[in-house]
Chains A and B, each alone.
Chain A
Amino acid sequence: MTDVAMSAPTNHAPLIAADGVPLKLKLARTTRRMKWRAFLLTVPLVLFLLIAFVMPIGEMLYRSMHNPTGSNVMPQFSVAIQDWDGEGLPSEEIFKIFVEDMTAAKKNREVGKTIGNLATRVNYEIPGSRSLFTRTARKTKNIKEGPYKEALLALDQKWENPVLWRTLQRVSKDYTLAFYLAATDRKYAENGDIVSADPLYQIYLPILFKTIWMSALITLFCFIIAYPVSYLLSTLPLRTSNLLMILVLLPFWTSLLVRTSAWIAMLQTQGVINNIMVYLGVITDESRIQMIYNLTGTIIAMVHILLPFMILPLYSVMKTIPPTYMRAARSMGASGTYSFIKVYFPQTIPGIAAGTLLVFILAIGYYITPALVGGSDGLLISNLIADHIKKTLNWSLGAALGTILLVVVLVFYWIYNKLVGVDNLKFG
């Protein structure tokens, strides 16, 4: 009862609840219980998302720097090579272990532990070295005794290259930053320094910047288009605006694939718009305009798809602005333009922030539309990630690119949270 003792000098006894517990304590307890109750309601979903969503993303982060191919394929060698100082060639002992491991690995047919896996992994670092591994592995079983170094060099002179061994030393470590280097168009030079990749082979950073730049452009277009429409919707009588709102909401509710097919039908060279222009004589049949399978098509389709995400927040903010403010400004002699800029526009800034950030965040990770209508120059970073996961099978590089994109998106999500607050997200 230290509480009571401490409060005694203040000269009035603490309020006591009916069961003899001080009211302050009891209130605190109830508050705590209510807090727990509210929290417990969210627990099932939080756990569900942890398992179904957060942990998968965690695994992606982990895989972007954890690639145990080296130690899986050559367990002994990957340990032994770490003692090598990187000067000249490794010792005869290491060569012996290498040959033995390679012979053993050649027999291994377990997925992830074959010579092919190691060859692919090293090929990422030294393009063109893949066949050296598969070719050598077919013959190492004939090397029965030492000196192993000479025997291996006799199989293929390329093994004399110290760069190869330094790369093997690096690849033998389970944790690596090599894929982040690749994802930022850099690589290890022959002496182990980090250098930029040949400009002709630089693809990831340029595409990342292009993605950000294009998202910004799409956001700008969405804003320019959405602002007047939202203004109109917010000033019309409720019945009319509800009716027009359907024109905004219908695209929002229509499948992304449907809208993308619709744009292909509209924009392709034999499509609706080109046909109409030929029919009207604006262009000739030979000079049909290429509007899809390029950057233009991607931007048009994405602006259309993301537009509702701009209109809805703008509209909900504009609806709350009383029209009397503008009228007051006008009656005090301000011109239409002046009162718009000084009175109306500043009040819509919360809506602008919400809409632009949301559209920007959604645009930056877009995959489907660029994949279908992007053609040659409309590819975005998401398409490269999917390519590495589904086509080239360089999963670690895909994961590293994914992590970089995730960081970019989370930064903007954090800004969104600070400026707008995620509880202000609404649909319709």
Chain B
Amino acid sequence: MLEKTKTPGFIALLVATLLFLILTRSFAGTFGFLIVFGIPYFAMNDLPPYATLQEKIGKYAFLSVCTIIFIFLILPILVIIPLSFNAEPYFTFTEGMMALDPSAYSARWYADILRFGMTDPDGTENWWNDMWNNATWIRAMRNSFFLALVSTLLAVVFGTLAALGLSRPEMPFRSLITSLLISPMIVPLVITATGMFFFYGRTMQGIIPGYENGLAQTYLGLTLAHATLGVPFVIITVTATLSGFDRSLIRASQGLGANGWTTFTKVIMPLITPGMISGALFAFITSLDEVVAVIFLADVDQRTIPRQMFSGLREQISPTILAVATILVLMSIALLTTVELLRRRSERLRGLSPG
């Protein structure tokens, strides 16, 4: 039955594809054509039997548009992965790559991540030491991860406490304080960075012991900046997990004789942990991706991965950037998966989803 109703459309699709192939004589193009118009075709299955032809065409057009939009969203990100294996120093597919010639592919840009900036990349003595201390991208990665870890920690601790307060029904000035705590996400980064550039530099001189010269060009200054930018994400995710929270659970635990600390660790904590972790991951990725504050506040030694990419893109575009980008994309996929799993777990715990 289903097969039968689909047959005419299927033939039409085949004919159109063949026509396209004959007209353009390009297999890659035909493949793209098949994706853009084939996927919507296979997704057209839940139309009611009384749907008119007009509605069918409308639905088909709608699905085609959606397919194109999804391709627009994801294609640029996927395209850089094969490009990063280019044997030539270009940002584009070479003829050899199109022909799938193995010699047109190479991992040299990945090696370059390690070698660039080393004093003696071909030496054997102290190679690891040299790489760890001198390779430009390795130094950037160490800076990035250090900053991201410490600033995430700060953002999560302060952010979770504040979110607990904000989600209490008796919280005074709630909307005012929430707007303040979310504002680091809203205020343009250039403004935040400019303010910090002034304030952390001269105004903070001689205030913090050990930092007589102020916080500009110090790891502490950068950490504070990144923690500030991560705070809104922690607030948003943790308050979201608390939004469906049944407050009678707290009274129940108190009624059963638990003290405040026990209630917190045994009742509240398990519920907000997924929110905290996704907030932490958001804060982490925000810091890892942040470049404006680094441009304004960091010393050359404190350059992070995105800062290094920024100057690379401005000055000398080499596929090394694409190799780094590929690694970052893989990391984003890992983080995204974690967040998705956590979100589902949290929904299950709060009984919001059937699964």
Residues 202-228 of A, flagged 1 when their CB comes within 8 A of B and 0 if not, give: 000000000000000000000001001
Residues 377-407 of A, flagged 1 when their CB comes within 8 A of B and 0 if not, give: 0000010011001100001001100100110
Q: How far is the CA of A48 from the CA of B322 in the complex (A)?
A: 37
Q: Are A45 and B181 in contact, with the CB atoms below 8 A?
A: yes
Q: Are A247 and B189 in contact, with the CB atoms below 8 A?
A: no
Q: Is the interface of B mostly helix, strand, loop or mixed?
A: helix
Give the Cβ gap from B112 to chain A, nearest Cβ, in Å: 15
Q: How far is the CA of A40 from the CA of B72 in the complex (A)?
A: 47
Contact A367 to B289, CB < 8 A, known contacts A46-B181, A258-B329, A421-B175: no
Contact A398 to B194, CB < 8 A, known contacts A250-B77, A427-B237: yes
Closest B residue, CB atoms, query A57: B195
Q: Are A389 and B188 in contact, with the CB atoms below 8 A?
A: no
> Which stretch of A78-86, A175-183, A185-193, A262-270 is in the interface?
A262-270
Q: How far is the CA of A242 from the CA of B339 in the complex (A)?
A: 13
A14-69 CB contacts (< 8 Å) to partner B: 31, 34-35, 37-42, 44-46, 48-49, 52-60, 63
Contact A406 to B172, CB < 8 A, known contacts A46-B177, A265-B83: no
Give the Cβ gap from A251 to chain B, nearest Cβ, in Å: 5
* A173 contacts chain B at the CB level, 8 A cutoff: no
How many positions in chain A have a CB within 8 Å of any CB in the partner chain? Answer: 92
Among B165, B175, B191, B203, which residue has its beta carbon within 8 angstroms of that of A402? B191
Q: How far is the CA of A54 from the CA of B183 in the complex (A)?
A: 10
Contact A399 to B231, CB < 8 A, known contacts A250-B333, A257-B313, A367-B189: no
Q: Are A59 and B199 in contact, with the CB atoms below 8 A?
A: yes
Q: Are A57 and B192 in contact, with the CB atoms below 8 A?
A: yes
Among A242, A253, A365, which residue has its beta carbon within 8 angstroms of that of B188? A365
Q: Are B199 and A262 in contact, with the CB atoms below 8 A?
A: no
Contact A55 to B199, CB < 8 A, known contacts A264-B317, A272-B79, A422-B179: yes
Q: Are A271 and B187 in contact, with the CB atoms below 8 A?
A: no
A271 contact set on B, CB distance < 8 A: 91-92
* A130 contacts chain B at the CB level, 8 A cutoff: no
* B162 contacts chain A at the CB level, 8 A cutoff: yes
Among A38, A262, A281, which residue has its beta carbon within 8 angstroms of that of B172? A38
> Which stretch of B2-10, B119-127, B128-136, B222-230 is in the interface?
B222-230
Q: Are A402 and B282 in contact, with the CB atoms below 8 A?
A: no
A263 contact set on B, CB distance < 8 A: 76
Closest B residue, CB atoms, query A63: B198
B200 contact set on A, CB distance < 8 A: 56
Q: Are A275 and B161 in contact, with the CB atoms below 8 A?
A: no
Interface centre among A52, A55, A60, A260 (most CB of B within 10 A): A52
What 7 A-B pairs have minimum CB-CB distances, sorted nearest first?
Answer: A365-B188, A41-B165, A56-B195, A56-B199, A262-B76, A45-B162, A38-B168
A-B contact pairs, 11 of them (CB 8 A): A37-B165, A41-B168, A46-B180, A57-B195, A59-B203, A255-B332, A261-B325, A262-B76, A262-B80, A265-B322, A268-B92
Given A45-B159, A48-B227, list of 8 further CB < 8 A pairs? A35-B170, A57-B195, A251-B77, A265-B76, A276-B29, A402-B194, A426-B236, A427-B233
